[in-house]
Amino acid sequence: MALTAEVKAELANVPVTKPAVRKAEVAALLRFAGSLHLAGDKIMVEVDLDTGAAARRLRTAIADLFGFTCEFVVVTPSGLRRGNRYVVRLLRNGDSLARQTGLIDSRGRPVRGLPAAVVAGGTDVATAVWRGAFLAHGSLTEPGRSMSMEVTCPGSEAALALVGAARRLEIQAKAREVRGVDRVVIRDGDAISAMLTRLGAHETLLKWEDRRIRREIKASANRLANFDDANLRRSAQAAVAAGARVERALEILGDEVPDHLRDAGMLRLQHKQASLEELGALHQPPLTKDAIAGRIRRLLSTADKKAGELGIPGTEASLTPDMLDQD
């Protein structure tokens, strides 16, 4: 089951006892998934949802809070639609429900955002608004670079109201318009976790966090592997370059090279991939890393000095562009 479906299934079963909080959730469901239709001289309220559990929760809440019995209709897939749609419809008393939930004002005019009582509510009301909005048109993506928790909104006023509700929960959400559709998005991983906790989706949160941690561990391992590969590549390039310079130094100095410098140089040529510490251990008698490095440096500097006196290319003339590339 996809994460979005798991969250919605869990949220549809979150127990809520306070009437004001249940009303806020109903108001959000109606605002974000509902529509008003004129049927003769009556107003019909219709809510289109993608999960049966959310539709049954809404139908039950309307009956408990307002005493109205709604129709429950299952719409099978057709055309481009995938999966069933679940419609909660109220024809009789539709205008009364619309007024009580803030879909229309006292004069019968449509309200674009959320009711004032809901907007000014406390954190429990703000949580209910987000739960209702997510059940209506929410989605949750897998953790990663493009992770997000998103709600599609019926208009900019509703989007701003939802951002304000998140702010009351101390969670940062942003409203944006994408291809003419208003959306509210939470992108930060910690903020998504905080919102799932607030909404009561604890089981889904555990799965989401587990996947998030796994991705972070995998990403860290890949970064370390790439770092190690780069270090090994640079070390190999440096060793090859050092071998080429030593070979040129021995060629320049010929028989004039001191024995102790020749021995250090020959070790470098015979063990091009060895570290300085390993070269020191191979020397007879063994030398420290600093001692073997010092002898190789003196060999190179002595050769470069003689090359300068003779007017011939020094030890660096043996380096190719590949040896010089340390990136």
pLDDT in tens, 133-157: 999 999 998 887 778 899 999 989 9
pLDDT at 1 > cutoff 70 = no
- pLDDT confidence of residue 227: 62
pLDDT at 325 > cutoff 60 = no
Which residues, including other chains, have CB under 8 Å from residue 26's CB and lie 6 or more apart? 58, 61, 62, 65, 101, 132
- pLDDT confidence of residue 213: 79
- pLDDT confidence of residue 228: 59
pTM: 0.66
- Lowest-pLDDT choice from 208-217, 223-232, 306-315: 223-232
Longest CA pairwise span in the chain (Å): 113
CB 300 within 8 A of CB 253: no
pLDDT: is 255 or 150 the higher one?
A: 150
pLDDT digits (tens, 9 = 90+) for 8-20: 999 999 999 999 9
pLDDT at 224 > cutoff 70 = no
Domains and CATH numbers, the chain: 3-200 (3.10.28.10), 229-324 (no CATH)
From 48, 30, 162, select the one nearest 99 (Cα to Cα): 30
pLDDT: is 51 or 238 the higher one?
A: 51
pLDDT digits (tens, 9 = 90+) for 108-137: 777 888 888 888 889 999 999 999 999 999
- pLDDT confidence of residue 232: 62
- pLDDT confidence of residue 132: 94
Model confidence at 56, in pLDDT bands (50, 70, 90)? very high
**Spatial separation of the C-alpha atoms in residues 259 and 256, rounded to whole Å:** 9
**Spatial separation of the C-alpha atoms in residues 212 and 292, rounded to whole Å:** 48
- pLDDT confidence of residue 179: 86
Give the type of residue at 163.
Answer: V
**Spatial separation of the C-alpha atoms in residues 173 and 194, rounded to whole Å:** 12
- pLDDT confidence of residue 120: 85
Model confidence at 296, in pLDDT bands (50, 70, 90)? confident
The neighbouring-strand residues paired with 139 are 150
CA distances from 76 to 1, 53, 60, 80, 87 (A): 20, 16, 22, 12, 11
pLDDT: is 18 or 265 the higher one?
A: 18
**Spatial separation of the C-alpha atoms in residues 47 and 106, rounded to whole Å:** 21
pLDDT over 70 percentage in the chain: 91
pLDDT at 78 > cutoff 50 = yes
Model confidence at 299, in pLDDT bands (50, 70, 90)? confident
Mean pLDDT of 54-64: 93
Model confidence at 327, in pLDDT bands (50, 70, 90)? very low
Pairing of strands 34-39, 42-49: antiparallel
- pLDDT confidence of residue 195: 93
DSSP 218-237: HHHHHHHHHHHHHHHHHHHH
- For 184, the 3-state DSSP assignment is strand
Alpha-helix runs per DSSP H in the chain: 3-11, 19-33, 52-66, 94-100, 116-119, 123-137, 156-168, 189-199, 202-253, 259-270, 276-282, 289-310, 321-324
- pLDDT confidence of residue 44: 87
Model confidence at 284, in pLDDT bands (50, 70, 90)? confident
- Respond yes or no on whether the N-terminal peptide bond of residue 154 is cis (omega within 30° of 0): no
pLDDT at 164 > cutoff 90 = yes
Q: How many CB atoms lie within 10 A of CB 145?
A: 7
Mean pLDDT of 186-203: 91
Average pLDDT, the chain: 85
pLDDT at 63 > cutoff 50 = yes
